[in-house]
Structure 1
Amino acid sequence: MFAQLLTPPYIPFTFSFLIMVGIGLIEVVGLGLGHLDLDGDGPPDAGDSVLAWLGLGGELPVLIWLTSLLGCFTVTGLAAQQTMTALSGAPLHPGPAAAAALLIGTVLNTSAANGLARVMPRFESTVVSTDDLLRRRGTVLEGTARRGFPARAKVIDHHGQAHFVMLEPHEDDDTIGTGESALLVRREGKLFFAMADRPTSLNPI
Structure 2
Amino acid sequence: MFAPFLTPAYLPFAIAFVVMIGIGLIEAIGLGLGHLDLDGELGVDANGGVLDWLGLGGELPILIWLTSLLGCFTLAGIAIQQTATALTGAPLHWGLASGGAFVAGALLNTLAANGLARVMPGFETTVISTDDLLRQRGTILEGTARRGSPARAKVVDRHGQAHFVMVEPHDDADALRSGDTALLVRREGKLFFALPEGNTLLQSI
Alignment TM-score, normalising by the size of structure 1? 0.58
Unaligned runs of at least 5 residues, structure 1: 131-158, 166-205
Q: 1:126 to 1:17 in 2, by over 3 A?
A: closer
Q: 1:179 matched to which residue of 2?
A: none
Given residue 35 of structure 2, which amino acid in structure 1 is its aligned partner?
A: H
RMSD between superposed Cα atoms in Å: 3.0
Q: 1: distance between equivalents of 2:127 and 2:98? A: 41
Secondary structure of the structure 2 residue equivalent to 1:60: coil
Q: 1: distance between equivalents of 2:129 and 2:37? A: 13
Q: 1:96 to 1:122 in 2, by over 3 A?
A: same
**Contact conserved, 2:17 with 2:74, CA < 8 A, in 1?**
yes
Q: 1: distance between equivalents of 2:72 and 2:102? A: 8
1:43 is displaced (CA, Å) by 7.8
1:96 is displaced (CA, Å) by 0.6
Q: 1:5 matched to which residue of 2?
A: 5
Deviation track 1:36-75 (CA, whole Å, cap 9, x = no partner) reads: 1112598849x95111100112220000000000000000
Secondary structure of the structure 2 residue equivalent to 1:122: helix
Unaligned runs of at least 5 residues, structure 2: 132-157, 159-182, 187-205
Q: 1:59 matched to which residue of 2?
A: 59
Given residue 51 of structure 2, which amino acid in structure 1 is its aligned partner?
A: L
Deviation track 1:91-144 (CA, whole Å, cap 9, x = no partner) reads: 0000010000000100110010000001003233495798xxxxxxxxxxxxxx
How many residues of Structure 1 are paired with residues of Structure 2 in the alignment? 135
Q: 1:177 matched to which residue of 2?
A: none
Q: 2: distance between equivalents of 1:93 and 1:129? A: 45
Fraction of identical pairs, as percent: 62
Q: 1:43 to 1:64 in 2, by over 3 A?
A: closer
Q: 1:83 matched to which residue of 2?
A: 83
**Which portions of structure 1, spanning 4 or more consecutive aligned residues, are displaced by more than 6 angstroms?**
none
Q: 1:30 matched to which residue of 2?
A: 30
Given residue 25 of structure 1, which amino acid in structure 2 is its aligned partner?
A: L
Q: 1:32 to 1:22 in 2, by over 3 A?
A: farther
Alignment TM-score, normalising by the size of structure 2? 0.58
Which structure would you say has the larger Rg? 1
**Contact conserved, 2:53 with 2:110, CA < 8 A, in 1?**
yes
Q: 1:125 to 1:163 in 2, by over 3 A?
A: farther
Q: 1: distance between equivalents of 2:126 and 2:24? A: 23
Q: 1: distance between equivalents of 2:185 and 2:93? A: 59
1:30 is displaced (CA, Å) by 2.0
Q: 2:17 matched to which residue of 1?
A: 17
Q: 1:164 to 1:27 in 2, by over 3 A?
A: closer
